[in-house]
Amino acid sequence: MRNALFVLALFAAAAFTQTAGLNADRLKLIRPRLQELVENQSIPGAVALVARHGKVATLEAAGWRDVEARKPMTTDSIFQIMSMTKNFTGVGIMMLVEEGRLELRRPVSDYLPEFRNQMIEERLPNGNTALHPPAQPPTVAQLMSHTSGLAGDPDGELADNPRTLRVPLAEAVRFYGRQHLQFEPGTRWRYSNMGIAALGRIIEVVTGEDYVHFIESRLLTPLGMKDTFFFPPDAKKDRIALVYKHSAGKLVRSGDEILAGDSAKYRAGAKYPAPEFGLYSTAPDLFNFYEMLLEGGTYKDHRYLSHQSIDTMTRVFTPDVSPSGWLGGTGYGLTFEIVNRPEGTLLLHSPGTFGHGGAFGTEGWIDPHNDLIRISMVQLSDGTGSHPRSVIMQIGESAVQ
């Protein structure tokens, strides 16, 4: 009887996959490919999710969330999704825009006085530097599109804060506001964690709410993202995948040198929520968020954003600024990277696909043309997490029928 039920379940899963317009045989390749990467120590473990037409077609786990303790990776393992957090901060900003509480084109200094009178630091041919005011101050939209002129990460007295998380958001952003701009706002693209952190502080100033509470109450809780958070609760810690790197051909656990510090310390004592990289999440939770975006701002009959706001966020904001994006063939919208011209690792993506990755190898892409979502979850701090991403993204796209 048990065998008969198991066979029936397999037939049902295959039938759904076919009705979703995905090739079931192709999707079955994902887990063995990931297992190969585990066995040759390319990755400690991974979780993969592919969904179409609002339904998860495949959800697979391979390898280990804790290599030393031999704790297996499971489909509900929790990952530090790092810069994928930027999308949540961006959606929070757009919610406030729709409520008439802030404007994208207004100067950042209208909301954060510490950003008044910023100067551009220009390096002269003789090696000296000179300061001069920008033609126009940076705007909220330029923070979202990484064209504000702000540098990437803090230096000086707060250089260690992305690792220690010791300084609260308001204090950190006051420091960021005193930093010189690197170029005329709107003329170049430079990925800026400080800029996204400033957006998190704008949310606090405009709403009077703590940033973490705002994201939890307006997005995470209503979307049913029960395993998504900034600071790990004790009950969730055992499911968190630890972060690894390669050393002498083997996987070893990363330590305090990485963003947010040693993953096995679970951010103990942290005060900084990191609107630019602070979230933990799971593949199933991220599916809920991405499905909301794919459905034009609606999930389970609840509207979070208008279709117009999603369109605004997910089209290239500065088409005249090049390059603008991490990967070849992409441009940058308002906290999202968008595929303009499929090439390289994005070769099988449809134009208009949008998404984001994280520093430890997590990645998610939403393809409106094919109504397709692909999520890849891995934890590697040395920049080698592209292998599972390529497997999941390429097989997922090629499975479309």
Instruction: Please say whether the beta carbons of 366 and 320 come within 8 A.
Output: no
- Cα(365)–Cα(356) distance, rounded to whole angstroms? 7
Is the domain of 104 the same as that of 27?
no
Q: Which of 212, 228, 254 is the last residue of a domain?
A: 212
In a domain? residue 6: no
Do 250 and 379 fall into the same domain?
yes
Closest to 92 in 3D by CA, of 222, 180, 231, 272: 222
Same domain? For 234 and 344 the reply is: yes
Same domain for 296 and 341: yes
Residues 386 and 367 in one domain: yes
Q: Which residue has the tokens 């990289």?
A: 277
Choose the final residue of a domain: 212, 231, 261: 212
348 and 202: one domain? no
The overall pTM is greater than 0.85: yes
Q: Does 45 map to a domain?
A: yes
Cα–Cα distance measured from residue 138 to residue 233, given in angstroms and rounded to the nearest whole number:
37
Average pLDDT, the chain: 92
244 and 373 within one domain: yes
Give the model confidence (pLDDT) of 197-236 as tens digits.
Answer: 999 999 999 999 999 999 999 999 999 999 999 999 999 9
| Residues 381 and 278 both lie in one domain | yes
Between 397 and 305, name the one with better pLDDT: 305
Q: In CATH, what number is assigned to the domain containing residue 131?
A: 3.40.710.10
135 inside domain: yes
Contact 387, 37 (CB under 8 A): yes
In a domain, 52, yes or no: yes
Portion of the chain with pLDDT greater than 90, in percent: 81
Q: Model confidence over 95-142: pLDDT tens digits? A: 999 999 999 999 999 999 999 999 999 888 888 889 999 999 999 999
Going by pLDDT thresholds of 50, 70 and 90, the confidence category of residue 398 is confident
Tell me, yes or no, whether 117 and 197 share the same domain. yes
Q: How confident is the model at residue 324 (pLDDT cuts 50, 70, 90)?
A: confident
**Which of the listed residues 154, 187, 212 is the one where a domain comes to its end?**
212
User: Cα(212)–Cα(228) distance, rounded to whole angstroms?
Assistant: 11
Structural domain of 365: 22-85+216-398
Confidence (pLDDT) at 7: 40
Phi, psi of 386 (to 5 degrees): -75, -20
Q: Are residues 74 and 93 in the same domain?
A: no
State the total domains in the chain: 2
264 and 175 share a domain?
no
**Which candidate, 118, 302, 99, 288, places its Cα nearest to that of 195?**
118
Looking at the structure, tell me whether residues 204 and 80 fall in a common domain: no
